[in-house]
A and B are shown apart, each in its own frame.
Chain A
């Protein structure tokens, strides 16, 4: 048998070989002074690598970490973000209906047959828009804007912003 190669030594070191192979290599190591010396160095290396390196973490690390945690779990913040974004969409939708009400009316009037799904949708939207406007007109829009402003002030406080920008989670693709 020729001498044991580096990768064979390492497979043996990691217990990756089957029993027959291991026995064969160990017998050779026993008989061959050169491989025996190599093997001893590898085992010494493994022992050294498994020892703790000096890793400087203070005794108060856990306390400091707990103190620096955000006061609330972010899932709650994200849910509130969804609420905020939804309100904005609703508001924008109503605003758009109000702004384009004349055009919408004209589209509905000139396409009384509702051939395409898009026209059907336009018709439904304009009906909803007209309904809301008929109830309250400009006051409805102003009321919604005020509600949304309050919601934003309540949700997007400074702390949330700071935390989200400071610790924004970036997963890199390992393309190092």
Chain B
């Protein structure tokens, strides 16, 4: 992949020890890192520490970055892996829950019941996204918030493009049902 000239220049400057260049990289990518961490690890107190860890790894491994992939994809990949390692080490129960949710989802596609009556639309969708398996909520976030392609998301999560697309479609179908439910509730209420 051909990096945009300014990205290539930025990487070169960082590799030559320019810390201001790295500050620019942090500014440009902190939203992405935060989204990935938030969607994978969920609401955790260590959120900011984990995001910082990601950037430290980026800094320490910048010489390993191969320019055949996109910088943002590489950073998101580090964020995703950092989050997974965090879940495995710090919250093994949560991590096991994730595997279980996906396993259950593979068989019956039903999500845990969501108490939706007293929430507004955005809250309902947010809650519904939270209850999706980790892979699906990550795909949804990267696709819609970061506007990444299936290929890029596949690279980040180390999964085939087709699987990414299938996760995205199934997740959105589920979320669409949550919205339909909301509309039905509105119809019933006076």
Contacts and interface: CB of A to CB of B under 8 A. Distances in A.
A52 B61 CA distance: 29
A171 B126 CA distance: 29
Given A57-B34, A73-B17, A169 B57 contact: yes
B57 A46 contact: no
B48 A176 contact: no
A12 to B, nearest CB: 12
Nearest to A16: B165
Interface in B142-168: 144-145, 157-159, 168
A69 B59 contact: yes
A170 B85 contact: yes
Given A66-B19, A73-B17, A167-B56, A176 B26 contact: no
Place the interface of chain A in its size category: 35 or more
Q: Which of A13, A57, A65 has the most CB of B within 10 A?
A: A65
B17 A45 contact: no
A57 B51 contact: yes
A58 to B, nearest CB: 6
A176 B30 contact: no
Given A69-B22, A176-B84, A61 B169 contact: no
Number of chain B interface residues as a range: 35 or more
Contacts of B126: 53
Given A55-B38, A62-B30, 15 more contacts: A10-B168, A10-B169, A38-B176, A41-B183, A48-B122, A50-B144, A52-B145, A57-B48, A61-B30, A68-B52, A73-B15, A170-B85, A172-B81, A172-B84, A176-B134
B34 A70 contact: no
A42 B62 CA distance: 40
B169 A6 contact: yes
Contacts of B117: none
A154 interface: no
Given A50-B145, A65-B26, A58 B48 contact: yes
Contact of A45 (B22, B84, B135, B172): B172
A173 interface: yes
B27 interface: yes
Contact of A49 (B34, B62, B125, B180): B125
Contact of B60 (A42, A44, A70, A176): A70
Interface string A156-176: 000000010001011111101
Contacts of A176: 84, 98-99, 102, 134-135
B48 A62 contact: no
Interface string A139-163: 0000000000000000000000001
Contact of B158 (A7, A65, A174): A174
Contacts of B55: 65, 69
Nearest to A68: B52
Given A41-B176, A173-B158, A66 B23 contact: yes
B172 A53 contact: no
A61 B48 contact: yes
B179 A44 contact: yes
A61 B51 contact: yes
Interface in A18-50: 38, 41-42, 44-46, 48-50
A62 B183 contact: no
B30 A57 contact: yes
A134 interface: no
A75 to B, nearest CB: 5
